[in-house]
Chain A
Amino acid sequence: DTGVSQNPRHKITKRGQNVTFRCDPISEHNRLYWYRQTLGQGPEFLTYFQNEAQLEKSRLLSDRFSAERPKGSFSTLEIQRTEQGDSAMYLCASSSSGTPNVLTFGAGSRLTVL
């Protein structure tokens, strides 16, 4: 297993377009998280899955954001009608039930909205 994989690593889009990011967690991890990080700030929590169930959503996750984890493996984060304020690094992490607070993060997907 090569860790948490995120694609694409970079995405440049125009305001109003939709974008989708994919996260492939460590295979034996049943918990998956999405965070957002803007320049100079620490990561901010967006949402959390245990298996295929989305158990928590942050207030930061507006109606334009949707996350899925259909089979409890990979996850997608879609942003509809992107705005310039959505420009950020989107980080995915996973963990196991045995060590739930030991998160393994991916390298992130950087979004630039023009």
Chain B
Amino acid sequence: DAKTTQPNSMESNEEEPVHLPCNHSTISGTDYIHWYRQLPSQGPEYVIHGLTSNVNNRMASLAIAEDRKSSTLILHRATLRDAAVYYCILRDVNYGGSQGNLIFGKGTKLSVKP
């Protein structure tokens, strides 16, 4: 699976939008972009995923660049509960021969100030 690059940390104010970037310049045409987040003392939690088109769900929006070499996770109104480590992960739709292995990097630690 191709590699992703994320900032180590970001800060946001409560009730403001947050844009979490992810670069994946070596993405292949069959790679899905997944986002997970991990709240303190909990296991990771699925947030959203997409292939080419922008995606929205109740948790967040995913904006994918036209060339797919970058994407942005958008939290529309950050709350204190959104303080977590956010992981951007690429996953080949055909698994690249490995069905079990989601490769987590270090992610972006998001802090939310009241």
Contact = CB atoms under 8 A, between A and B. Distances in A.
A binds B: yes
A47 to B, nearest CB: 7
Contacts of A35: 104
A105 interface: yes
Interface in B58-114: 85, 87, 91, 95, 98-107
A93 interface: yes
B43 interface: yes
B43 A101 contact: no
Interface residues of B, number: 24
Contacts of B42: 105, 107-108
A65 B8 CA distance: 32
What band does the interface of chain A fall in when counting residues whose beta carbon is under 8 Å from B?
A: 20 to 34
Given A50-B99, A102-B49, A44 B43 contact: no
A84 to B, nearest CB: 22
Given A56-B101, A100-B95, 16 more contacts: A42-B106, A45-B101, A48-B101, A55-B99, A91-B44, A93-B44, A100-B99, A101-B49, A101-B91, A102-B46, A103-B36, A103-B44, A105-B43, A105-B45, A106-B43, A108-B43
27 contacts: A4-B43, A31-B100, A35-B104, A41-B106, A42-B87, A42-B104, A43-B44, A43-B104, A44-B104, A45-B103, A47-B100, A48-B99, A48-B101, A50-B99, A56-B98, A56-B101, A91-B43, A93-B44, A100-B99, A101-B34, A101-B91, A102-B49, A103-B36, A105-B43, A105-B44, A105-B45, A107-B41
